[in-house]
Structure 1
Amino acid sequence: MNLNDTQARSLTIQQAVVYDSDPGRAEKVADVLRELSLEPLLIDHCALMRAMIQTPNNPPALLVGDVADCDWVELGAALREQLSDIPVVAYGSSTVADQLIAHVGAPRVRRLTFPFKSTVLGTALRMPAQATQAEVGEVAMPTGSSAAIRDVTRLIRQVAAHDSSVLILGESGTGKELAARAVHEASPRRQRPFVAINCGAIPAELLESELFGHEKGSFTGAIAARKGRFEIAEGGTLFLDEIGDMSLPMQVKLLRVLQERVFERVGNHTPIRCNVRIIAATHRNLEESIAKGTFREDLFYRLNVFPIEMPALRTRIDDLAMLVRDFSERNVAEGRSRVELTARALKVLSHYPWPGNVRELGNLIERLSILCPNRLVDVADLPLKYRPADLLAELDLSADLQLPVETLESELEAEEALDEDREVMSMLASEPAESAVVQLPPDGIDLRDHLFTIERDLIQQALSRAGGTVAHAARLLKLRRTTLVEKLRKFHMLNEAAASEL
C-alpha cells in the first residue's frame, strides 16, 4: 500500500472513542462499533482522554463506561466547547451517566444498558444530534417584526446549518455583527468559539499576525509565540468585520487560506490546517471597490456565497418601538434606569433619518436612561438634533416644548390642580358682579398675579384660623391635605410647625 492509499484510508476511517476502565467490556463495545463501520479508539485513563481532546481531529462519537479518577468538570467543559457536535453514549453505571448529564446536558447524553446490539447503538448515536438541533430555537435574532427583518431572520436560519461562507452587507450600525453571531449560534458550531476581528481597525502590517499568529522573534516586539484568530476560532466561526478595508496584499493571503484551508504563522513555514467557518461583513459596495481596483474580484466571489443585506433603520421604522423596548431592557440588566418614551417622542424619532442606524438608537436610549431616570421621556428631553424646529412645527408640537416634561404622577397632580382652579373660577363667575372683591380697572389687570395673591392670602388666613394645622386648614379651604401641602411648597409657606406635621 503506497503513501497516498494510506492517507486516503486515514481520511475515510472514523475513530469513535471508547472511554472505559474495563478492558474486556471496552473490547466488546469496539466490536459493535466495527459493525457500524466505526474504528474504535480505546482509552482507559484520564490523561489519555485529555490528550485526545486536544487533538484537532474530532471523533464521531464518545462512548463512556466506568472510569476511575475522571475530572467530570474538565470533561464536561471539553464536550461543551471543543467537542460540541459529537453524541455521547453512557453505558456504564448510573453514577457515570448522572455525571455526564450534569456536566454535558441531558440532550447530548443517551443511556444504554450493556451489552447492546449495533442497531441499538446506531439509533443512540443519531438521537443526540437531533436533540441538539432542537436547541437552536433560542437564538437571539435581530429585533423587529418588519418584513425586512423577517427576511433577514429567515436567511440566517437557512444558512446556519451549512458551512457556506456568508457576506453580510449594510450601512454602519445596522447590526451586522449581531447577525453574524446569530448565524453562529444557530449552527452546529455554536459550542465552539465565535471570534471577531475588525479588519479596518488594525494596521495592515499587523493584520497578518493577528489573523495567522506569529513565532517568537519573528519581528520586532514578538517576545513570545502567539496564536492568531484562525487558531483561536478552530472548529468555530471567524467573523471578518469591515473586510472591504483590508489591504490588497492581505486579501491575497486570505484568499489562499479560504481556498486551501491552510495557513502559516508569521516566522514559520509549517502549514497549519484550519477548520473555521468564515463570515465577513462590510459597509462598502464591494462591486464598486472591484471596479476601482481596491478589492479582489476572486476574493469577493469566494466570500459572497450567501449574502445577507441588513436593512437601514430608516427603512424599517415600524421596528422603532420594539427596538426602544429592547435597548431599555438591556439598560436595566446593566444597572441603569428603564426608559419609556411618550407617544409624541416616538413620533418625533420616527421622522429622524438615523444615519447611525440601530447603534445610534442604542446610544440615545443609554443616554436618556442616565439623563431621565425613572420617568417618562417626552419631546423636550430629546437632544436638539432629534427634534428640529421645522419638524416640530410640521407635527404641531412646538407649543408643547414650553412646558417642562412631567412624570405620569406629576401630570396627574397638575391635572388635579387645574381642576381645582376651574372650580375657583366657576365660583367666582357664579357670584354677582357687585359682590366682586375688586372692580376691573379701566386699563385691565394682571389676572395671574392677582389670583396668586388672593390664593396665598386665603391660605395664610386658613392656617392662622387653624392654628397652623395643615389638615384643619385644608378642610376650611375644601382642599385635600396633599393638595394644600403642594400649594404651601409653591408659595414657600412651609414653616417649621407645618414642616414637622408633614
Structure 2
Amino acid sequence: MTQSGDGAVLDGATPQAGYVESAGAEGRTILIADDDRSIRTVLTQALGRAGYEVRTTGHAATLWTWVADGAGDLVITDVVMPDENGLDLIPRIKKIRPDLRIIVMSAQNTLLTAVKATERGAFEYLPKPFDLTELVNVVRRALSMPHGPAAPSVAGLAEDEDALPLIGRSSAMQEIYRTLARLMTTDLTVMITGESGTGKELVARALHDYGKRRAGPFVAVNMAAIPRDLIESELFGHEKGAFTGATTRGVGRFEQADGGTLFLDEIGDMPPEAQTRLLRVLQENEYTTVGGRLAVRANVRIVAATHRDLTQHIRQGLFREDLYYRLNVVPIRLPPLRERAGDIPELARHFLAQVTEEGLPRKSLDGAAMDRLKRHRWPGNVRELENLVRRLAALYSQETIGLDVIEAELATAPSALASGGGTPGEGLSALVERHLREHFAAHPDGLPAAGLHDRVLREVERPLIGLSLEATRGNQIRAAQLLGLNRNTLRKKIRELDIQVVRGVR
C-alpha cells in the first residue's frame, strides 16, 4: 500500500515525484483525475497491468499543471471534483494540447453529460460504474488511433438537466446516450427500433436538438397515419394539376425540413412506390415533386423509426432490402421499460413534476408503491407509465400515493384486463366476469332479461365518468381530456347517464 502526492492510497504502486507510477513496456503515461480514492486505486492497478505508466490526482488543478508541463499521453478525468468541473477543464486542455486524448468518467449519467463531453472534445465518455476491461480497451484505442482534425463544436447546448428529452441512468440508456453524443456532429442516417411507447420520437428529437442541424426545423411524419395514395405527395410535395384535386402547389415534408431533420416514424408502413422514391433521395440526395420534372436538392438529415421487424418485412416482400440498408446506417434499439426497471423511479418523479407544472395537484409515491411499479411488466412502456402518473395526479386526493392505489390501478390496466388479472389484485375483467356469472346463476330457469350489454356498459361508464368529473372538480374540458373523449360526447353521456356535475368539489 502506497500513497500518492495528494493522499490517494494505491495498491502495488511506487511513489515518485509526488505521484504514482506503474512502469510498463509501452512507456505511455495516463493522467487520472478523480476525487474518489478507490477509483484511482482500481484504475492504477488495471492500467498498470496493461503496461501503462499512471499518474493520479484528486484535483483538477494538479491535472492542469501536469498537462501544461507537457506530461501524459492521455487524460482520464471525472466530472465532479472539489476544485473544478472536469468538463470545464477540457476546452482549456484542448487549447494548449489539441492532440491530447481525453476520456471522461461520470456518475452524472445523463444525456447532457455525454453530449457535453463529446461537444467539448472528449474522445470518449464512460458512465460510472464502468467495466474495467472496456476502459482499458478505450485507452488502447485512443492511443492507437491517428490524430485528425478536432470534431466540429456545437455551441448553445441546454444546461437544464430537468429539460432533458430522455430520462434514465441504466446501462441500456447510457449506451444510447453515448451513441447520441457520437452522432451529434454527423449527418448519418439513423434507424430507431423499439416497442411502441419506448420513446422513439424523443430520441429523434434529441438527435436534432443536440446536433449541428438544431437551428433548422424538426419535421415528423407518421407513415401509418397517412393514406397510402397520399404518402408521396405528403413527403415530396406536388405541382398544381399533378392529380385530381391538386388546385395549388403542395409543399412536401422534405421541403419543410430543409436544413433540419426529417423524422419518418413507422417507416415499415411505407408503401412500395414511396419506398422507391425515398431510396433515390438517399442515393442521389435529390428528389422530384409529384408531377414535377426538375430535381430538387435534399438538404435534410433522415431519422427513421419502427416498432416492426423490418427483416421479416423484407422476407415477405413488403420492404425493400436496399432501402433498409440505406436507412440502417446507425441502428439504435430502445429497450422496453421492463429491461430498465431501475429507471422507473426517476421516470415517475419526472412525470409527477411535469403534471404539477401543468396545474394538477402535487403528488409523490411511497416506497412500497414505487417498488410495485418496478415489478410491473409495462407492455405499454414509458407511455403507459406516463399515463398512469397522470391518472394518479388527477383522480386521487391523497398527496402521497400508496401501494393500495397502485395495485388498484395496475389491476385495471389493459394488460391486466386482457389476462383477467395478472396482478396480485383482481383485475376489472375478472371482476366483471365473476359478477356476470353470479347474474346468470341467479336465473336458473332461463337467461337474464334482454339488454344486458347496454346495462353492463352503463354500470362501468357511470362511475368512470363520475369519478373523472369529481377529480377535475367538475371541469368538463379536463375530464374529457382525461377520458380521451370529445367534449360534446362527454356532455351527451352526462345527460344519458344522469350524472350530477358539481363544480369545485373533490
TM-score scaled to structure 1, two decimals? 0.50
Q: Is 1:135–2:157 an aligned residue pair?
A: yes
Deviation at 1:212, TM superposition (A): 0.6
Deviation at 1:147, TM superposition (A): 0.4
Deviation at 1:288, TM superposition (A): 1.4
Of residues 211, 216, 226, the one that matches 1:202 is: 226
Amino acid at match of 1:381: V
Structure 1 match to 2:383? 359
**CA-to-partner distance for each residue in 1:281-326, whole Å, 9 max, x for gaps?**
0001111111111111100100011001101000000001000011
The question of whether the paired residues in 2 share the 8 Å contact of 1:189 and 1:236 is answered with: yes
Of residues 292, 301, 313, the one that matches 2:316 is: 292
Q: Is 1:385–2:416 an aligned residue pair?
A: no
Of residues 273, 277, 290, the one that matches 1:249 is: 273
> Using the alignment, how far apart are the partners of 2:398 and 2:245 within structure 1?
50
5+ residue gaps, structure 2? 1-148, 427-506
> Using the alignment, how far apart are the partners of 2:388 and 2:375 within structure 1?
15
Map 1:23-102 to 2 at 5 A.
Answer: none
The question of whether the paired residues in 2 share the 8 Å contact of 1:141 and 1:153 is answered with: no
> Using the alignment, how far apart are the partners of 2:247 and 2:370 within structure 1?
54
Structure 2 match to 1:376? 400
> Using the alignment, how far apart are the partners of 2:367 and 2:166 within structure 1?
24
> Using the alignment, how far apart are the partners of 1:380 and 1:366 within structure 2?
17
Deviation at 1:329, TM superposition (A): 1.6
Deviation at 1:247, TM superposition (A): 1.1
> Using the alignment, how far apart are the partners of 2:216 and 2:422 within structure 1?
52
Q: Is 1:341–2:365 an aligned residue pair?
A: yes
Deviation at 1:385, TM superposition (A): 3.3
What is the Cα-based RMSD across aligned positions, in Å?
2.4
> Using the alignment, how far apart are the partners of 1:299 and 1:136 within structure 2?
34
Structure 1 match to 2:182? 158
- CA distance 1:266–1:258, change in 2 (3 Å): same
> Using the alignment, how far apart are the partners of 2:372 and 2:156 within structure 1?
42
> Using the alignment, how far apart are the partners of 1:222 and 1:272 within structure 2?
20
Amino acid at match of 2:285: R
> Using the alignment, how far apart are the partners of 2:422 and 2:244 within structure 1?
58
Deviation at 1:219, TM superposition (A): 2.1
- CA distance 1:256–1:137, change in 2 (3 Å): farther
> Using the alignment, how far apart are the partners of 1:389 and 1:209 within structure 2?
46
Amino acid at match of 1:219: F
Structure 2 match to 1:445? none
Deviation at 1:374, TM superposition (A): 5.8
- CA distance 1:337–1:224, change in 2 (3 Å): farther
The question of whether the paired residues in 2 share the 8 Å contact of 1:339 and 1:365 is answered with: no
> Using the alignment, how far apart are the partners of 1:267 and 1:390 within structure 2?
55
Structure 1 match to 2:259? 235
> Using the alignment, how far apart are the partners of 2:398 and 2:360 within structure 1?
10
Deviation at 1:333, TM superposition (A): 2.1
**CA-to-partner distance for each residue in 1:337-371, whole Å, 9 max, x for gaps?**
23311222222222221111001111111111110
**CA-to-partner distance for each residue in 1:445-502, whole Å, 9 max, x for gaps?**
xxxxxxxxxxxxxxxxxxxxxxxxxxxxxxxxxxxxxxxxxxxxxxxxxxxxxxxxxx
Amino acid at match of 1:392: P
Structure 2 match to 1:463? none
> Using the alignment, how far apart are the partners of 1:338 and 1:179 within structure 2?
28
Q: Name the SS of the counterpart of 2:341 in structure 1.
A: helix
Q: Name the SS of the counterpart of 2:157 in structure 1.
A: helix
> Using the alignment, how far apart are the partners of 2:422 and 2:224 within structure 1?
38
> Using the alignment, how far apart are the partners of 1:285 and 1:168 within structure 2?
12
Structure 1 match to 2:199? 175
Q: Name the SS of the counterpart of 2:213 in structure 1.
A: coil
Q: Name the SS of the counterpart of 2:375 in structure 1.
A: coil
- CA distance 1:264–1:315, change in 2 (3 Å): same
Of residues 283, 300, 307, the one that matches 2:307 is: 283
Amino acid at match of 2:155: Q
Bigger Cα displacement from structure 2, 155-164 vs 341-350: 341-350
Amino acid at match of 2:424: L
Kindly indicate whether structure 1 or structure 2 has the higher relative contact order, using CA contacts under 8 Å at least 6 residues apart.
1
Q: Is 1:215–2:239 an aligned residue pair?
A: yes
**CA-to-partner distance for each residue in 1:2-55, whole Å, 9 max, x for gaps?**
xxxxxxxxxxxxxxxxxxxxxxxxxxxxxxxxxxxxxxxxxxxxxxxxxxxxxx
Amino acid at match of 1:321: P
TM-score scaled to structure 2, two decimals? 0.50
> Using the alignment, how far apart are the partners of 1:244 and 1:390 within structure 2?
32
> Using the alignment, how far apart are the partners of 2:205 and 2:251 within structure 1?
22
**CA-to-partner distance for each residue in 1:127-168, whole Å, 9 max, x for gaps?**
9x74x4363666824100110011111111111211110000
Map 1:304-323 to 2 at 5 A.
Answer: 304-323=328-347
> Using the alignment, how far apart are the partners of 1:214 and 1:298 within structure 2?
26
Q: Which has the higher helix share?
A: 1
Deviation at 1:391, TM superposition (A): 4.4
**CA-to-partner distance for each residue in 1:387-419, whole Å, 9 max, x for gaps?**
89774389xxxxxxxxxxxxxxxxxxxxxxxxx
Amino acid at match of 1:235: G
Q: Name the SS of the counterpart of 1:240 in structure 2.
A: strand
Structure 2 match to 1:302? 326
Q: Name the SS of the counterpart of 2:424 in structure 1.
A: helix
> Using the alignment, how far apart are the partners of 2:398 and 2:217 within structure 1?
38
Q: Name the SS of the counterpart of 1:184 in structure 2.
A: helix
Structure 2 match to 1:187? 211
The question of whether the paired residues in 2 share the 8 Å contact of 1:345 and 1:377 is answered with: yes
- CA distance 1:340–1:251, change in 2 (3 Å): same
Q: Is 1:271–2:295 an aligned residue pair?
A: yes
Deviation at 1:222, TM superposition (A): 2.2
Q: Name the SS of the counterpart of 1:350 in structure 2.
A: helix
Q: Is 1:260–2:287 an aligned residue pair?
A: no
Between Structure 1 and Structure 2, how many residues are aligned?
267
State the identity as a percent. 47
The question of whether the paired residues in 2 share the 8 Å contact of 1:328 and 1:339 is answered with: yes
> Using the alignment, how far apart are the partners of 2:373 and 2:165 within structure 1?
24
> Using the alignment, how far apart are the partners of 1:181 and 1:341 within structure 2?
30
Q: Name the SS of the counterpart of 1:361 in structure 2.
A: helix
Mark the structure with the bigger radius of gyration. 1
